[in-house]
Amino acid sequence: MAGLAVLASGSGSNFEAIAGQLKKSAHKVVCLICDRKDAYAFTRAEKYGIPSYFVGYKNRTRGEAETEIASILTAHNTDLIALAGFMRLLTPELIDRFPGRIINIHPSLLPKYPGTHGIIESFESEDRELGITIHRVDYGLDTGPVIVQKSFTRGGNETLEQIEKKIHELEHQSYPAVLLDILDEI
Ligand code: GRF
């Protein structure tokens, strides 16, 4: 059994997909950490009985917030960390505590459209091939080594909502599977 911690900031639909799949596996989601008190991910964690923690970044340094994050991760014997819509960059100090063991998902075919507007920038582009990227986290913004990319070809007449739905479906299928493979190797 290996332990996965998930960091999220918002809805947590990826977190829930991961929680659902890991429940059927030998591995465990050991905790959820959110930097927003109102994150819907907390409601999902409750549903799965997963311990969840709010870690605020207001009026403190990123390093101070991460000291709290690190102590939660340690208390839960975390082997692997999945960022699932966590809207903050981690410091090199935290990344170096988990070498190669922090994974991120991004809703575009990186290196195209890094940052917070991956879906809309993909949608507004001329690209026919859209998709998602799962990668290891390094010090940059959505720059670490790619583990897998999944894509689809759009017809051209889809709405933004339809593209968004397709991207999230791909995320929910792929992210739990990739994380399970990595957990199996730990
Ligand atoms: C996903 O599109 C993910 O790729 C991006 O943030 C979004 C999070 O969605 N990093 P959710 O909170 O998992 O629903």
For 29, 140, 162, the CA distances from 143, given in Å and listed in that order, are 25, 5, 27
Question: Which residues have CB under 6 Å of ligand 1?
Answer: 8, 10-15, 84-85, 105-107, 171
Q: Identify the band that residue 122 occupies on the pLDDT scale cut at 50, 70 and 90.
A: very high
Q: Using one digit for the tens of pLDDT, what is the confidence trace for 58-117?
A: 999 999 999 999 999 999 999 999 999 999 999 999 999 999 999 999 999 999 999 999
Report the separation in Å between the CA atom of 139 and the middle of ligand 1, taken as the mean of its atom positions. 20
Strands 146-153 and 129-136: antiparallel
Q: Is 135 a catalytic residue?
A: no
Q: Identify the band that residue 18 occupies on the pLDDT scale cut at 50, 70 and 90.
A: very high
Q: Identify the band that residue 57 occupies on the pLDDT scale cut at 50, 70 and 90.
A: very high
Domains along the chain with CATH numbers: 3-107+133-151+174-185 (3.40.50.170)
Q: Identify the band that residue 8 occupies on the pLDDT scale cut at 50, 70 and 90.
A: very high
